[in-house]
Amino acid sequence: GRDAPGDWPSRGRPPEPAPPGLLRVVVVGDSVVYGSSLDVAPIPGYCIQRSLTPLGWTPDRVAVISAGVPGYSTLQMAWLLRELLASLAPDAVVLWPAAWNDQAPAVIAPDSTMLKGRREHPAREWARDHSLLFAALVPEDHSLPLEEILDGWKRGEPPAGYRVDNSEVAGWVGGQLDDCARAHVPAVVLASAHPPQTAAEHPRTRSDAETVILAAKVEGVPFVDAQAILDASGLDPARAFVDYVHPSPEMNALLGEALAKELAPILETRAAEHAARGEPAPSSTGL
């Protein structure tokens, strides 16, 4: 279907093949970055790419690469980011954390607990994933009935906790920004907007967005407040989202423009740094 990726396990422009000197911006997030419910053209990565073009950063000078994984929490994003920093050596990163999944109810245990279990029992986890005999002899952890999980979540008391506790969000975002700093890769942070009904029924979505902004301020990195962009645009919220959380093409266009303005000076600096090291310069032949 339209959501299927190719050899590159995401949607949109792949990192390879690429000409010498091409700069890379990697957008990291969950299904909002992946572009669930959208065709490929209006996903955030392409909207950023289009908005960079009139600023002089045409697609032959910079590639905006989407690395969104549906269902990922901010904790999982942190592990994905480390892999991308090592494998792609990006020139800039856009982080879009805590859009929805962090405040979703854990089915068995919070993400941090699940990760700790995999660290402490790597052989057990490998065997569970690779051995049918092991799976038959060692039963999986059983979760509560889905209805009970959702009822508790709606009351603000998910029985197994949240995927990522609200007290952990700032630390995970700050950790990602620290990873970028250690890799000498500039980052721009995007804090999500949400439909009015989602904000009312799931208030943690908005508090998480505020936490993301605060983390960016603490780390001293540029950020885009999607809710402020939406409020200032006059766009009807009913047209800004395709469902309870995913931005529409119109909303992604607004965010692409705002992010491009933050990225353009970063890319100028990165191009100058490459030139100072005698590395190939990105093409400037235009489209």
pLDDT at residue 287, as a whole number: 39
pLDDT at residue 286, as a whole number: 43
Residues of the chain scoring pLDDT < 70:
1, 117-143, 283-287
**For residue range 74-114, what is the model confidence (pLDDT) as tens digits?**
999 999 999 999 999 999 999 999 999 999 999 999 999 98
Instruction: Tell me, rounded to whole angstroms, the distance of Cα 284 from its chain centroid.
Output: 29
pLDDT at residue 116, as a whole number: 79
Q: Which helix (H) or strand (E) holds 95?
A: strand 92-95
d(CA 150, CA 78) in angstroms, rounded, equals 26
Full-model pTM: 0.89
- Residue 143 — φ and ψ, nearest 5°? -85, 170
260, 263, 271, 191: which is closest to 229 by C-alpha? 191
Angle at 174 between CA 84 and CA 88, to 5 degrees: 10
Tokens of 136: 């038959």
Sheet holding 62-68: strands in order across? 62-68, 23-29, 92-95, 187-191, 223-225
pLDDT at residue 117, as a whole number: 62
Beta-bridge partner residues of 68: 29
**What SS3 class is residue 99?**
coil
**What SS3 class is residue 189?**
strand
pLDDT at residue 115, as a whole number: 85
pLDDT at residue 280, as a whole number: 84
Averaged pLDDT of the chain: 90
d(CA 48, CA 261) in angstroms, rounded, equals 9
